[in-house]
């Protein structure tokens, strides 16, 4: 009987032909060799299957399976998890790229720290043309690299930090590794976007968290990525309510009531939506109405309110809530616009004050120079010698 591999690299694929070959190559070039690359295609209709078959023909570590019907990303991940034979699970994504020693580094952490349930690492961003994308602010830098050095953290501390700030500071599928004995039922497929984060919460019930500060993978940002598509969906943002509902015990640990948690989350979502509106509408060619439709999928709000006796109050409240979120975001943008205008005017006033101060200072210097020149002239020998002449001149008719 063949010995199972130490690591199972799980790669779900759907229409990934653009970047798939580069992703697979980054796995096959690993310094750590004892792994299987489990690829399950989710009924792609591009060249993905052909690309996978070509690689599988030349490397026996690749196990290639095909779904009989399209399952979706999280369900396909779960199929990979069911088939994985390795002691450790290393998830991957078809758009991303591994550094050549990511598996070796993570296995070392797991082997040397039996109390660690989840290990993650720094990631870099790349474009669809493989160009490095730099973070533009401290928040983005924190997403790429939460800690400046290798860091061990208790599971509860990391989970509460993520839950309190409404961010995924634990990692994405391409950045994490965990033990196969902790994989249980896999991803909760009710989630649209943060199903990975919720899965990490459950894995961390079995042990602690370790972060590798070295950049060991590259996360590709492009318009067609699953992350980008999901981020444009309001239902993906509402995942945080689903997360709160599933992990209510965390709300109590934050010393909040459920009502306080929901209110704080609502304010955060309004801010998030507002930021997206601002980003989209900076381009004057983009119709804000289209942005709203993209977030909600509502082409006709009033059609959701039936004048018949068969009204569904639950659906009506949902529609109204979404409209309220949108209008809250619009109002926040209007406030931002006014604030920007006020700041601009204040900046102009400050500039004018600075100019007036400079003019005043220059005039004062000129007056001082004139006074000094007159004083010097009045005390000069020639001025004193001609004083009688000036007196006689005044007496002449």
* pLDDT one-digit tens code per residue, 282-324: 555 545 566 556 555 656 666 666 666 576 767 766 677 777 7
State the residue for tokens 């580094």.
105
Question: In the prediction, which pLDDT does 394 show?
Answer: 57
Question: In the prediction, which pLDDT does 200 show?
Answer: 98
C-beta separation of 132 from 125 below 8 A:
yes
- The model carries a pTM of 0.75
Average the pLDDT over 78-95 and give the result: 96
| Closest among 102, 135, 97, 143 to 119, alpha carbons compared | 102
* pLDDT one-digit tens code per residue, 66-79: 999 999 999 999 99
pLDDT tops 80 at residue 184? yes
The pair of structure tokens assigned to 288 is 């804000």
Q: CA torsion, points 184, 187, 190, 192, in degrees to nearest 10?
A: 170
Share of the chain above pLDDT 70, in %: 81
Question: In the prediction, which pLDDT does 301 show?
Answer: 63
User: Is 7-231 assigned to CATH 3.40.718.10?
Assistant: no
Task: Give phi and psi for 36, each to the nearest 5.
Answer: -115, 145
Q: Which SS3 state, helix, strand or coil, does residue 153 take? A: strand
Question: In the prediction, which pLDDT does 52 show?
Answer: 97
Question: In the prediction, which pLDDT does 81 show?
Answer: 97
Average pLDDT, the chain: 86
Question: Strands 208-220, 97-98: parallel, antiparallel or unpaired by DSSP?
Answer: antiparallel
Q: CATH 3.90.550.10 in the chain: give the residue spans.
A: 7-231
- DSSP per-residue codes, 178-204: EEGGG-TT---TT-SSTHHHHHHHHHT
C-beta separation of 4 from 40 below 8 A:
no
Count of helices and strands (H, E) across the chain: 16, 10
**What CA–CA distance (Å, rounded) separates 284 from 86?**
52
């Amino acid at each position: 009987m063949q010995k199972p591999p130490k690591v199972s690299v799980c790669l779900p694929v759907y229409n990934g032909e653009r970047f798939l070959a580069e992703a697979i190559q980054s796995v096959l070039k690993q310094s750590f060799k004892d792994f299987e690359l489990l690829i399950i295609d989710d009924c792609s209709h591009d060249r993905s299957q052909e690309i996978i078959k070509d690689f599988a023909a030349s490397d026996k570590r690749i196990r290639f399976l095909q779904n009989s019907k399209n399952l979706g990303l999280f369900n396909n991940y779960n199929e990979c998890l069911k088939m994985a034979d390795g002691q450790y699970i290393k998830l991957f994504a078809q758009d991303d790229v591994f550094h050549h020693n990511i598996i070796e580094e993570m296995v070392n952490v797991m082997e040397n720290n039996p109390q660690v349930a989840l290990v993650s690492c720094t990631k870099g961003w790349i474009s669809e043309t493989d160009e490095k994308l730099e973070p533009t602010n401290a928040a983005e830098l924190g997403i790429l690299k939460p800690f400046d050095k290798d860091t061990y953290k208790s599971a509860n501390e990391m989970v509460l930090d993520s839950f309190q700030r409404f961010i995924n500071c634990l990692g994405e599928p391409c950045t994490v590794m965990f033990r196969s004995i902790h994989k249980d039922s896999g991803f909760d497929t009710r989630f649209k976007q943060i199903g990975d984060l919720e899965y990490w919460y459950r894995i961390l019930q079995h042990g602690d968290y370790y972060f590798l500060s070295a950049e060991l993978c590259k996360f590709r940002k492009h318009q067609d990525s699953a992350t980008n598509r999901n981020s444009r969906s309001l239902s993906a943002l509402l995942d945080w309510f689903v997360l709160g509902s599933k992990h209510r015990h965390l709300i109590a640990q934050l010393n909040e009531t459920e009502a306080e948690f929901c209110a704080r989350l609502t304010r955060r979502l309004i801010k998030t939506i507002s930021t997206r509106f601002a980003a989209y509408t900076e381009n004057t060619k983009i119709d804000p109405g289209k942005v709203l439709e993209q977030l909600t999928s509502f082409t006709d709000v009033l059609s959701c309110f039936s004048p018949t006796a068969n009204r569904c109050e639950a659906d009506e409240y949902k529609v109204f809530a979404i409209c309220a979120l949108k209008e809250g975001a619009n109002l926040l943008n209007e406030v931002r616009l006014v604030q920007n205008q006020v700041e601009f005017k204040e900046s102009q006033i400050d500039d004018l004050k600075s100019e007036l101060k400079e003019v005043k200072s220059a005039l004062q210097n000129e007056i001082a120079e004139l006074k000094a020149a007159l004083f010097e002239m009045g005390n000069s020998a020639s001025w004193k010698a001609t004083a009688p002449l000036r007196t006689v001149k005044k007496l002449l008719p």
